[in-house]
Amino acid sequence: MSPPALLDLAAVFVFALTGALVASRALLDLVGFLFVACLTAVGGGTVRDLLLDRAPVFWVQAPHFVLLASAAAVLVFFTAHFLESRYRVLLWLDAVALSVAVAAGVAATIGTGHGPVIVTLMGVITGCFGGLMRDVVCNEVPLVLKAGELYVTAAFAGAIAAQLAFTLTDMPWLPLAACMAVTFALRAGSIRLGWRLQAYKPRPPRHK
Amino acid sequence: MSPPALLDLAAVFVFALTGALVASRALLDLVGFLFVACLTAVGGGTVRDLLLDRAPVFWVQAPHFVLLASAAAVLVFFTAHFLESRYRVLLWLDAVALSVAVAAGVAATIGTGHGPVIVTLMGVITGCFGGLMRDVVCNEVPLVLKAGELYVTAAFAGAIAAQLAFTLTDMPWLPLAACMAVTFALRAGSIRLGWRLQAYKPRPPRHK
Amino acid sequence: MSPPALLDLAAVFVFALTGALVASRALLDLVGFLFVACLTAVGGGTVRDLLLDRAPVFWVQAPHFVLLASAAAVLVFFTAHFLESRYRVLLWLDAVALSVAVAAGVAATIGTGHGPVIVTLMGVITGCFGGLMRDVVCNEVPLVLKAGELYVTAAFAGAIAAQLAFTLTDMPWLPLAACMAVTFALRAGSIRLGWRLQAYKPRPPRHK
């Protein structure tokens, strides 16, 4: 099994866990869990494949992705009440899923003749759009847009790190590992240590 | 006219009625009615066609779908104030539209070489995504996600019933009728008799 | 550079400005500005290209669109606090962007063998969907759906004006200029002079 396929599998599984956790916060039923988990799990990769015109999209060719996401939903439905803080687990799983999905997006795009701008964007899109759909559909404030948090920023930095590493080495796994490490480190620093970007201020104090 | 084409027509018309009813609840103007009606009417089938890479999507090839949805919007704009309860009519029309659209989605996918997982999913997607877009754009709580209601569940059961029936008979209409009957019966039971799935409970009471 | 390409560039730039202004109202950080600006700028044209099966979509072939949108986001991030009323500037820039994008959508579709219904719809979709995504993601009331405002109506009228003009002249720029003039005039009349359509009323007063 090729690295991109393995990364896709891992991203699908972890994103499905986060989707099911958001479903649990919305007090949905089991089928609602399945729906949100599958949407979150395959959303980002689906947008990527549609934009790149890879037809049909990855999970239509290989239905086991959807079955894996469904298994994650069932798992969360029957075990989430054991968790101390579902929101905290959600945040950290989302960070893992983001890191893996950005690497999967870069891996899927880098051999296809597109330049660095598009490879970077496809990494960011694969990483961010599943969670964005999850949050819009469930009416949560999108994690993607929480002011100041390193989220799209982390995805962006990871995608660029991967491409730098690809120019330095021939080993296929190293750049993807670098991508995951950079994305996760920035996101974890933001969750845990409060690293953040300056949010826009409408009227900064000037020349008193 | 082939069965899938007829079903698509019927689903488009009834979903357009529901879109226009939601527009009436949001107090939009006539053009808003047209916009929401068309989005609802063709949304599910459009997502299905994009995912399956059927190009171009069904209503781009055959613009009469959009004209039909527009006629439904105009009809509702001038007659909705005669209704006793627009929400009740909306619920029931949505149930009809769901049943027909699931059958249309199954019919459009079943001859294309995809396996049962994808056929089922395309039925569910064709059935559910138009209404989901309608509710997200108009800021209603998505019917799809109302906890406990049989909605995605009904679509799912209908899509599976259709495929079981296809293995038992050669008549093309019978499985689609079975699909519509199963989807509508479950959805109607949920609306009328309160059939529902257990919603997720954060901390079920345990061994006191 | 062909007229459609120039129009696409202009629409991308002005829509990116509006996206960044909405990001400033949501107090996002710089990366949030980039994200919303890019989504708004390429959203409408992306939906159009996916529906028409033009592969890959316009900005994947030509990454300078994304770079241009990013430049607009950075510009707004560092200058928006000089504006007296960001909402007023947003409204007017959005009117300009709508006019240009409808013309771009018509220009991109009219030579491809599609009939007038689809050409009109692609103009409306190119014009309206970027702003719709911007508003849904940032949780603003979609401008598209503000009851009574001439918005989709203006796009619609502009797209039809362009096609009438195409039957009357061979000059490629004239119909596109007519499209922009009609769309902008109707939208401006709605913003400035209060031109509007009658919103739906649940129970009009009858025969007292």
Q: Which residues does chain A have within 8 Å of residue C136's beta carbon, measured at their own beta carbons?
A: 136
Whether B85 contacts chain C with CB within 8 A: no
What pLDDT, on the 0 to 100 scale, is given for residue B208?
A: 47
Whether A35 contacts chain B with CB within 8 A: yes
For an interface test with A, the pick among B196, B200, B207 (most A C-beta atoms closer than 10 Å) comes out as B200
By C-alpha distance, the chain A residue nearest C45 is: A51
| Tokens 């600006």, located at residue | C37
Q: Is B29 helix (H, G, I), strand (E, B) or coil?
A: strand
Whether A156 contacts chain C with CB within 8 A: yes
| Tokens 């598209």, located at residue | C144
What are the strands, taking DSSP E only, across chain C? none
The tens-digit pLDDT sequence of chain C (208 residues) is 566 778 889 999 999 999 999 998 888 888 889 999 999 999 999 999 999 988 788 899 888 999 999 999 999 999 888 887 888 888 899 999 999 999 999 998 987 889 899 999 999 999 999 998 898 888 777 777 777 788 889 999 999 999 999 888 878 789 999 999 999 999 999 989 888 888 787 765 555 4
Q: Is A172 helix (H, G, I), strand (E, B) or coil?
A: coil
The tens-digit pLDDT sequence of chain A (208 residues) is 566 778 889 999 999 999 999 998 888 888 889 999 999 999 999 999 999 988 788 899 888 999 999 999 999 999 888 887 888 888 899 999 999 999 999 998 987 888 899 999 999 999 999 998 898 888 777 877 777 788 889 999 999 999 999 888 878 789 999 999 999 999 999 989 888 888 787 765 555 4
Contacts of C65 (CB under 8 A, 6+ apart): C8, C9, C12, C41, C42, C58, C59
- For chain A, which chains pass the contact test of at least 3 CB pairs under 8 Å? B, C
Contacts of C30 (CB under 8 A, 6+ apart): A197, A198, A200, C73, C74, C77
d(CA B188, CA C12): 46
For an interface test with B, the pick among A24, A27, A29 (most B C-beta atoms closer than 10 Å) comes out as A29
pLDDT tens per residue, range B120-150: 999 999 999 999 889 888 877 777 777 778 8
Contact assignment for B147 to A29 by CB distance below 8 Å = yes
Contact assignment for B24 to C200 by CB distance below 8 Å = yes
Mind telling me how many Å the CA of C70 is from chain A's nearest CA? 12
Mind telling me how many Å the CA of B16 is from chain C's nearest CA? 16
Q: Are B190 and B154 in contact (CB under 8 A)?
A: yes
pLDDT tens per residue, range B7-25: 889 999 999 999 999 998 8
Per-domain boundaries in chain B: 3-193
**What is the ipTM score, two decimals?**
0.83
Contacts of C32 (CB under 8 A, 6+ apart): A145, A147, A152, C23, C26
Q: Are C26 and A148 in contact (CB under 8 A)?
A: no
Share of chain B above pLDDT 90, in %: 51
